[in-house]
Protein backbone atom coordinates (compact mmCIF):
# COMPACT_ATOMS: atom_id res chain seq x y z
CA UNK A 1 0.00 0.00 0.00
CA UNK A 2 1.29 3.45 -0.88
CA UNK A 3 1.66 6.50 1.33
CA UNK A 4 -1.47 8.50 2.08
CA UNK A 5 -1.85 12.08 0.88
CA UNK A 6 -1.94 14.79 3.53
CA UNK A 7 -2.52 18.57 3.31
CA UNK A 8 0.12 20.73 1.62
CA UNK A 9 2.14 17.70 0.67
CA UNK A 10 2.86 16.72 4.29
CA UNK A 11 4.34 13.27 4.69
CA UNK A 12 2.34 12.00 7.68
CA UNK A 13 -0.29 13.04 10.22
CA UNK A 14 0.07 13.13 14.02
CA UNK A 15 -2.67 13.55 16.60
CA UNK A 16 -1.94 14.29 20.25
CA UNK A 17 -4.98 13.17 22.26
CA UNK A 18 -5.64 13.19 26.00
CA UNK A 19 -8.33 11.24 27.86
CA UNK A 20 -9.31 13.46 30.80
CA UNK A 21 -10.81 10.64 32.85
CA UNK A 22 -10.33 12.24 36.26
CA UNK A 23 -11.41 9.85 38.97
CA UNK A 24 -14.10 8.12 36.89
CA UNK A 25 -11.97 5.06 36.07
CA UNK A 26 -10.91 4.62 39.69
CA UNK A 27 -14.48 5.11 40.89
CA UNK A 28 -15.55 2.23 38.66
CA UNK A 29 -12.88 0.08 40.29
CA UNK A 30 -14.17 0.95 43.77
CA UNK A 31 -17.50 -0.80 43.30
CA UNK A 32 -18.33 -3.63 45.63
CA UNK A 33 -16.81 -2.24 48.83
CA UNK A 34 -18.94 -2.72 51.95
CA UNK A 35 -21.23 0.11 53.11
CA UNK A 36 -20.59 2.08 49.94
CA UNK A 37 -17.05 2.94 51.03
CA UNK A 38 -14.47 4.04 48.45
CA UNK A 39 -10.71 3.83 48.23
CA UNK A 40 -10.01 7.53 48.71
CA UNK A 41 -6.31 7.23 47.90
CA UNK A 42 -7.10 5.52 44.62
CA UNK A 43 -9.58 8.24 43.67
CA UNK A 44 -6.88 10.84 44.29
CA UNK A 45 -4.76 9.22 41.57
CA UNK A 46 -7.38 10.19 39.01
CA UNK A 47 -8.14 13.57 40.59
CA UNK A 48 -4.49 14.51 40.11
CA UNK A 49 -5.12 14.76 36.35
CA UNK A 50 -7.56 17.67 36.25
CA UNK A 51 -6.24 19.16 39.49
CA UNK A 52 -2.60 19.62 38.43
CA UNK A 53 -1.72 17.92 35.18
CA UNK A 54 -4.07 19.42 32.59
CA UNK A 55 -2.63 22.91 33.06
CA UNK A 56 0.90 21.56 32.77
CA UNK A 57 -0.06 19.87 29.48
CA UNK A 58 -1.79 23.00 28.17
CA UNK A 59 1.34 25.06 28.85
CA UNK A 60 3.51 22.50 27.07
CA UNK A 61 1.25 22.35 24.01
CA UNK A 62 1.13 26.14 23.82
CA UNK A 63 4.90 26.39 23.90
CA UNK A 64 5.06 24.28 20.71
CA UNK A 65 2.01 25.76 19.01
CA UNK A 66 0.15 22.44 18.97
CA UNK A 67 -3.61 21.98 19.12
CA UNK A 68 -4.75 18.67 20.60
CA UNK A 69 -7.94 16.71 21.18
CA UNK A 70 -9.15 16.08 24.73
CA UNK A 71 -11.71 13.29 25.22
CA UNK A 72 -13.75 14.00 28.34
CA UNK A 73 -16.36 11.96 30.23
CA UNK A 74 -19.45 13.99 31.06
CA UNK A 75 -19.00 13.37 34.78
CA UNK A 76 -15.49 14.82 34.63
CA UNK A 77 -16.89 17.91 32.89
CA UNK A 78 -19.46 18.28 35.68
CA UNK A 79 -16.85 17.94 38.40
CA UNK A 80 -14.18 20.13 36.80
CA UNK A 81 -16.01 22.61 34.55
CA UNK A 82 -13.35 25.29 34.89
CA UNK A 83 -10.67 22.85 33.69
CA UNK A 84 -12.68 21.84 30.62
CA UNK A 85 -13.35 25.50 29.87
CA UNK A 86 -9.61 26.23 29.97
CA UNK A 87 -9.02 23.45 27.45
CA UNK A 88 -11.67 24.81 25.10
CA UNK A 89 -10.60 28.44 25.52
CA UNK A 90 -7.04 27.48 24.60
CA UNK A 91 -8.36 26.37 21.19
CA UNK A 92 -8.18 22.62 21.72
CA UNK A 93 -10.87 20.20 20.66
CA UNK A 94 -13.19 18.50 23.16
CA UNK A 95 -14.39 14.98 22.38
CA UNK A 96 -16.97 12.65 23.94
CA UNK A 97 -15.73 9.90 26.28
CA UNK A 98 -18.94 8.54 27.76
CA UNK A 99 -20.48 9.87 30.96
CA UNK A 100 -18.79 7.98 33.81
CA UNK A 101 -16.17 6.17 31.69
CA UNK A 102 -18.55 3.22 31.48
CA UNK A 103 -18.10 0.40 28.99
CA UNK A 104 -20.56 0.54 26.12
CA UNK A 105 -20.14 -3.17 25.43
CA UNK A 106 -22.97 -5.04 27.12
CA UNK A 107 -25.23 -2.02 27.55
CA UNK A 108 -28.66 -1.85 25.98
CA UNK A 109 -29.40 0.52 23.12
CA UNK A 110 -31.45 2.72 25.46
CA UNK A 111 -28.64 2.87 28.03
CA UNK A 112 -26.12 3.88 25.39
CA UNK A 113 -28.39 6.60 24.00
CA UNK A 114 -28.86 8.04 27.49
CA UNK A 115 -25.08 8.16 28.06
CA UNK A 116 -24.43 9.76 24.68
CA UNK A 117 -27.16 12.38 24.95
CA UNK A 118 -26.59 13.18 28.63
CA UNK A 119 -22.95 14.05 28.02
CA UNK A 120 -23.83 16.07 24.92
CA UNK A 121 -26.20 18.17 27.04
CA UNK A 122 -23.40 18.78 29.53
CA UNK A 123 -21.03 19.93 26.78
CA UNK A 124 -23.65 22.20 25.22
CA UNK A 125 -24.26 23.88 28.57
CA UNK A 126 -20.56 24.17 29.35
CA UNK A 127 -18.79 25.01 26.08
CA UNK A 128 -21.77 26.13 24.05
CA UNK A 129 -22.02 23.26 21.58
CA UNK A 130 -22.21 19.51 21.25
CA UNK A 131 -19.06 17.67 20.20
CA UNK A 132 -18.56 15.56 17.08
CA UNK A 133 -15.69 13.23 18.04
CA UNK A 134 -16.00 10.13 20.20
CA UNK A 135 -13.61 7.74 21.93
CA UNK A 136 -15.22 4.79 23.62
CA UNK A 137 -14.25 4.39 27.29
CA UNK A 138 -12.02 1.40 27.93
CA UNK A 139 -11.69 0.84 24.19
CA UNK A 140 -14.72 -1.31 23.41
CA UNK A 141 -18.36 -0.91 22.44
CA UNK A 142 -21.50 -2.73 21.42
CA UNK A 143 -22.07 -3.57 17.77
CA UNK A 144 -24.72 -0.87 17.45
CA UNK A 145 -22.68 1.93 19.10
CA UNK A 146 -21.26 3.48 15.87
CA UNK A 147 -24.75 3.64 14.37
CA UNK A 148 -26.13 5.38 17.47
CA UNK A 149 -23.35 7.94 17.35
CA UNK A 150 -23.65 8.53 13.61
CA UNK A 151 -27.39 9.06 13.86
CA UNK A 152 -26.72 11.73 16.49
CA UNK A 153 -24.40 13.82 14.41
CA UNK A 154 -20.97 12.52 15.36
CA UNK A 155 -18.41 12.88 12.58
CA UNK A 156 -15.49 10.73 13.71
CA UNK A 157 -14.34 8.03 16.13
CA UNK A 158 -10.94 7.30 17.62
CA UNK A 159 -11.44 3.99 19.38
CA UNK A 160 -10.30 0.98 17.37
CA UNK A 161 -6.83 -0.56 17.18
CA UNK A 162 -6.89 -2.45 13.90
CA UNK A 163 -5.28 -0.02 11.46
CA UNK A 164 -2.71 2.75 11.17
CA UNK A 165 -4.67 4.95 8.77
CA UNK A 166 -8.16 6.45 8.99
CA UNK A 167 -11.04 4.63 7.35
CA UNK A 168 -14.76 5.01 6.73
CA UNK A 169 -16.89 3.11 9.25
CA UNK A 170 -19.22 0.41 7.91
CA UNK A 171 -22.77 0.64 9.27
CA UNK A 172 -25.43 -1.87 8.19
CA UNK A 173 -23.11 -3.16 5.48
CA UNK A 174 -22.48 0.26 3.93
CA UNK A 175 -19.39 2.45 4.09
CA UNK A 176 -20.29 5.82 5.59
CA UNK A 177 -18.55 9.17 5.96
CA UNK A 178 -18.22 8.42 9.69
CA UNK A 179 -14.43 8.29 10.01
CA UNK A 180 -12.48 6.08 12.40
CA UNK A 181 -8.99 7.34 13.35
CA UNK A 182 -7.40 4.32 15.04
CA UNK A 183 -4.99 4.48 17.93
CA UNK A 184 -2.77 1.76 19.42
CA UNK A 185 -1.92 0.36 22.82
CA UNK A 186 1.74 0.89 21.88
CA UNK A 187 1.27 4.67 22.09
CA UNK A 188 -0.92 4.69 25.20
CA UNK A 189 0.82 6.09 28.28
CA UNK A 190 -1.64 4.33 30.59
CA UNK A 191 -0.55 0.91 29.39
CA UNK A 192 3.09 1.73 30.11
CA UNK A 193 2.98 3.79 33.28
CA UNK A 194 -0.35 3.80 35.14
CA UNK A 195 -0.08 2.21 38.57
CA UNK A 196 -1.97 1.74 41.81
CA UNK A 197 -1.17 -0.53 44.72
CA UNK A 198 -4.72 -1.41 45.78
CA UNK A 199 -7.03 -1.95 44.02
CA UNK A 200 -4.24 -3.28 41.86
CA UNK A 201 -3.58 -1.50 38.55
CA UNK A 202 -2.40 -3.39 36.59
CA UNK A 203 -3.95 -6.50 38.07
CA UNK A 204 -0.65 -8.41 37.89
CA UNK A 205 1.34 -5.38 39.11
CA UNK A 206 4.91 -4.70 37.92
CA UNK A 207 4.49 -1.60 35.83
CA UNK A 208 5.81 1.97 35.77
CA UNK A 209 8.12 1.49 32.86
CA UNK A 210 11.36 3.33 32.30
CA UNK A 211 10.50 6.84 31.07
CA UNK A 212 13.42 6.70 28.67
CA UNK A 213 12.21 3.44 27.14
CA UNK A 214 8.60 4.63 26.93
CA UNK A 215 9.74 7.74 25.06
CA UNK A 216 11.88 5.57 22.80
CA UNK A 217 8.90 3.29 22.05
CA UNK A 218 6.66 6.25 21.25
CA UNK A 219 9.22 7.81 18.94
CA UNK A 220 9.96 4.53 17.17
CA UNK A 221 6.25 4.32 16.37
CA UNK A 222 6.34 7.88 15.05
CA UNK A 223 9.33 7.17 12.84
CA UNK A 224 7.61 4.08 11.42
CA UNK A 225 4.41 5.99 10.68
CA UNK A 226 6.44 8.84 9.20
CA UNK A 227 8.38 6.48 6.97
CA UNK A 228 5.18 4.94 5.59
CA UNK A 229 3.19 8.18 5.40
CA UNK A 230 0.50 7.13 7.89
CA UNK A 231 -1.49 8.69 10.75
CA UNK A 232 -0.45 8.17 14.38
CA UNK A 233 -2.79 9.06 17.23
CA UNK A 234 -1.02 9.30 20.59
CA UNK A 235 -3.36 8.44 23.46
CA UNK A 236 -2.35 10.01 26.76
CA UNK A 237 -3.98 10.64 30.12
CA UNK A 238 -3.24 13.78 32.18
CA UNK A 239 -2.98 11.77 35.42
CA UNK A 240 -0.22 9.70 33.80
CA UNK A 241 1.73 11.88 31.35
CA UNK A 242 1.23 15.13 33.27
CA UNK A 243 3.53 14.65 36.27
CA UNK A 244 6.65 16.87 36.48
CA UNK A 245 8.87 13.98 35.39
CA UNK A 246 6.70 12.38 32.73
CA UNK A 247 5.78 15.66 31.07
CA UNK A 248 9.35 15.61 29.78
CA UNK A 249 8.39 12.65 27.59
CA UNK A 250 5.73 14.82 25.96
CA UNK A 251 8.17 17.73 25.69
CA UNK A 252 10.78 15.66 23.87
CA UNK A 253 8.17 14.21 21.52
CA UNK A 254 6.82 17.66 20.69
CA UNK A 255 10.35 18.94 20.09
CA UNK A 256 11.19 16.20 17.64
CA UNK A 257 7.86 15.94 15.84
CA UNK A 258 7.21 19.67 15.38
CA UNK A 259 10.77 20.18 14.12
CA UNK A 260 9.83 18.29 10.95
CA UNK A 261 8.22 20.65 8.47
CA UNK A 262 6.62 17.82 6.53
CA UNK A 263 4.57 16.50 9.47
CA UNK A 264 0.94 17.57 9.88
CA UNK A 265 -0.01 17.86 13.56
CA UNK A 266 -3.79 18.08 13.70
CA UNK A 267 -6.93 17.54 15.77
CA UNK A 268 -9.37 14.70 15.29
CA UNK A 269 -11.79 16.92 13.40
CA UNK A 270 -9.07 18.16 11.07
CA UNK A 271 -7.84 14.65 10.26
CA UNK A 272 -11.32 13.24 9.76
CA UNK A 273 -12.49 16.17 7.61
CA UNK A 274 -9.44 15.84 5.38
CA UNK A 275 -9.77 12.09 5.02
CA UNK A 276 -13.50 12.29 4.38
CA UNK A 277 -13.04 14.72 1.50
CA UNK A 278 -10.15 12.68 0.03
CA UNK A 279 -11.24 9.16 0.95
CA UNK A 280 -11.79 7.97 -2.60
CA UNK A 281 -8.23 8.58 -3.67
CA UNK A 282 -6.88 7.47 -0.27
CA UNK A 283 -8.63 4.11 -0.29
CA UNK A 284 -6.99 3.26 -3.59
CA UNK A 285 -3.60 3.35 -1.86
Listed by start position, the domains of the chain span 7-282
Model confidence pLDDT, tens digit, residues 111-120: 999 999 999 9
Rg of the chain, C-alpha, whole Å: 18
- Topology, domain 7-282: TIM Barrel (3.20.20)
Residue 246 CA: distances (Å) to CA of 3, 32, 236, 258: 32, 32, 11, 19
Closest Cα to residue 69, out of 14, 141, 118? 14
Model confidence pLDDT, tens digit, residues 195-234: 665 565 555 556 678 999 999 999 999 999 999 999 999 9
CB contact burial 93-103 (16+ within 10 A = b; e otherwise): bbbbbbbbbbe
Model confidence pLDDT, tens digit, residues 100-158: 999 999 999 999 999 999 999 999 999 999 999 999 998 788 999 999 999 999 999 99
- Who contacts 56 (Cβ-Cβ below 8 Å, separation ≥6)? 242, 244, 247
Assessment of whether the complete model's pTM goes beyond 0.85: yes
User: In this structure, how many other beta carbons lie within 10 angstroms of the beta carbon of residue 212?
Assistant: 11
Assign 32 a pLDDT band (cuts: 50, 70, 90): low
CA distance 54 to 60: 10
- Mean pLDDT, to the nearest integer, of 30-41? 68
Query: Above 90 in pLDDT, residue 30?
Result: no
CA distance 167 to 279: 8
Amino acid sequence: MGNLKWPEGKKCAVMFTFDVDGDTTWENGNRGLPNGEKYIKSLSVGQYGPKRCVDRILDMLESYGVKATFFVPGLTAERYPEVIMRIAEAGHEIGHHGYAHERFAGKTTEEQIEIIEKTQRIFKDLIGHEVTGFRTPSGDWAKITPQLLYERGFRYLSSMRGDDRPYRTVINGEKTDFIEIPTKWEVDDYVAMAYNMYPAEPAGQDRISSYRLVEDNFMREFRGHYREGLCISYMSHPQVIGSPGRIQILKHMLEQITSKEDVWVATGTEVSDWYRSHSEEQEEK
